[in-house]
Amino acid sequence: MISALQAGRTGFFIALLLAVTACSDSNTNGGAVSPENESGTSTSGTSTTDGGSSTTGGSTDVGEPTTEGSTTSDNADGADSTTGGESDSGATSVGDSDGSDGALDGNTDSNGTTDGSDGSSTDAGGSSAGDSDAGSTTGEAGTDGSSPPSNGVDLSGGDDDSPTATETASLQGPFIRDESRGAGPPSSPAGLTALLTSDNWVEFTWSPSADDQSVEAYEIYRDGSLLFTVRGDTNYEFDYRYWLTTSYIDCNYTRYPGCRDTQPAAAGAYEYTVVAVDNEGMRSGPSEPLVIQLVQPQSGGADLTDYSIVFEDEFDGDGLDRSSWKTALPWGPDRIINGELQYFVNIFGSSPPSYDPFVFTGETLQITGIETPSELLSDANNQPYLSGVITTADYFEMTYGYVEMSARVAGGEGLLSTFYLFNQYFDDNKPEIDIVEYIGSRPDKAYQTYHYFDSNRARWASGENHSSPTMETNTGITLSAGYHNYSVLWEPGLMVWYIDGAEVRRVVGPRVSDEPMNIIAQLVIGSEWIGSPTPASLPATFEIDYIRAWQRN
């Protein structure tokens, strides 16, 4: 039975190109934080406290999905040894990065569905509302598609338009050139601010320093010891993201797997400072310290006492309700993202392939993936597999609340069952909350990731899309063997993930999105992240018992 008690605004807008100039950020929430968000706050010079006991679902060692083809060099201490850890000055770490980093992040940073890795973006001729076709573009997993500037290329973002800039100051890259300062070290970085905090990572940012010539690097210190050097002259994409946004994640174990050895601990308090280094090697004084206490997952499930159901589908009928669901993503079925090998059959489209991936048992919805029959290859854009996706785009959206799916995820090589919230208007600030991503070949593991778009610091597309580390939860059971509940509580400044009612992840901070999102579930077959399926993997079934959404009364 379907009940859509909150109507969504209609209309999708395809992002043709990302703006290279700064755009307004709507992720900062002015509202009060949920009472559950009592931890993970930060102050300048003082620590905060964290309540609650730990009920983590297991370790957060991302392991396999973070290391394929990725090597980084750590020169933060001046050594010239390759450690596989943090990529620092002079690093030349290329190749595929694993872990979820948004869906449409290959040529521009327009988000889309996730299979845990970057993919291709929308382009001119993209489809609207998911019912018409777009051109085919394939992106490279774990990369942004847009080439970072080579060494020596001017990174100027134009004149600074801030009210504090002087006539002689201009913002060129992540620093302010102010010739009136004269010779001497750059100004100390200021405004250290925590953006997001979890149990074993934190993201923070700072305002660019000023120098009479240029700032070449920012040194990150944790508790007085050099942790990482953010530079703009390396060949690793995620170094550029830090550089262009004057931000840093301690510890981004998805992109810098070696940092797991020194990652911060749950509920621990840490003091961070930043030092600017100019082109003459002169160092600024340290910034004012930022003291951050990491959060810790808490015992017990979500308290929904003050919440009411605003959307539900029990999938007990004989077909999808067209007033609640679409069967195509907003850029259309012919766009290939993330190196995926499946074709999502849009059964509501004008001329879909004759195969219907949606089977109703009377109690559940089965999304079934198969090898594409030879006679359907031309209809399936020559993709080797057929599968399905459902989305509430244009029919239901929500800002804040609790969303839950009861499902049996698909097990097997090259299979990815995903359930997530995605920005209703994905050309805006592109938030995406991955409630669960399940790789069928990793039977006891579930992945959670958050993506958002922040142009406060960046003036280039490659720096504006942010992703949390892909958080891995070890459940200790084979999730594909039965039905389990996957859910997220999303409130101002707070995201909490649950599996079977137990909290497994918690993220707090001002960059938690406040934009409307819709609900998506899909079965991905093959991608750069998950590899290709074997004959034994097919046919594959992602079986959904229900999807429900609540909001605070």
pLDDT of 365 strictly over 80: yes
DSSP lists the bridge partners of residue 378 as: none
Name 439's Cβ contacts closer than 8 Å, sequence gap at least 6.
65, 116, 415, 416, 445, 447, 529, 530
pLDDT of 375 reads 97
Cα(473)–Cα(531) distance, integer angstroms: 20
What pLDDT band is residue 94 in, cutting at 50, 70 and 90?
very low
pLDDT digit string (tens) for 74-88?
333 333 333 333 333
Q: What's residue 116's pLDDT? A: 35
- What pLDDT is attached to residue 503? 97
Q: Hey, how many other C-beta atoms are within 10 angstroms of the C-beta on 9?
A: 9
- 425-458 tens-digit pLDDT: 765 557 899 999 999 999 999 999 999 876 554 4
**pLDDT score, position 8:** 36
Q: Calculate the dihedral angle through the C-alpha atoms of 296, 297, 300, 306, rounding to the nearest 10 degrees.
A: 90
Question: What are the boundaries of each domain within the chain?
Answer: 64-93+148-293
170 confidence band (pLDDT: 50, 70, 90)? low
Q: Which of 141, 193, 116 is nearest to 471 (CA)?
A: 116
Token pair in block for residue 529: 């992240």
pLDDT by residue (tens digit) across 197-214? Answer: 999 999 999 999 999 999
Under CATH, which number does the domain 64-93+148-293 receive? 2.60.40.10
DSSP state of 241: H
* SS3 per-residue string spanning 60-105: CCCCHHHCCCCCCCCCCCCCCCCCCCCCCCCCCCCCCCCCCCCCCC
Q: Residue 24: is its pLDDT beyond 90?
A: no
pLDDT, position 448: 98
Rounded to whole angstroms, the Cα distance separating 102 from 282 reads: 38
The structure's pTM equals 0.72
Least confident among 167-181, 329-343, 386-400: 167-181
Q: What is the mean pLDDT of the chain?
A: 75
462 in helix, strand or coil? helix
Question: pLDDT per residue over 58-71, tens digit each?
Answer: 333 333 333 333 33
Distances (CA, A) of 458 to 110, 241, 265, 451: 15, 9, 29, 16
Residues 256-280 have a mean pLDDT of 96
Which amino acid makes up residue 168? T
Look at residue 25 and tell me whether its pLDDT is greater than 90: no
**The length of the chain, given as a count of residues:** 553
Say what the pLDDT of residue 331 is: 84
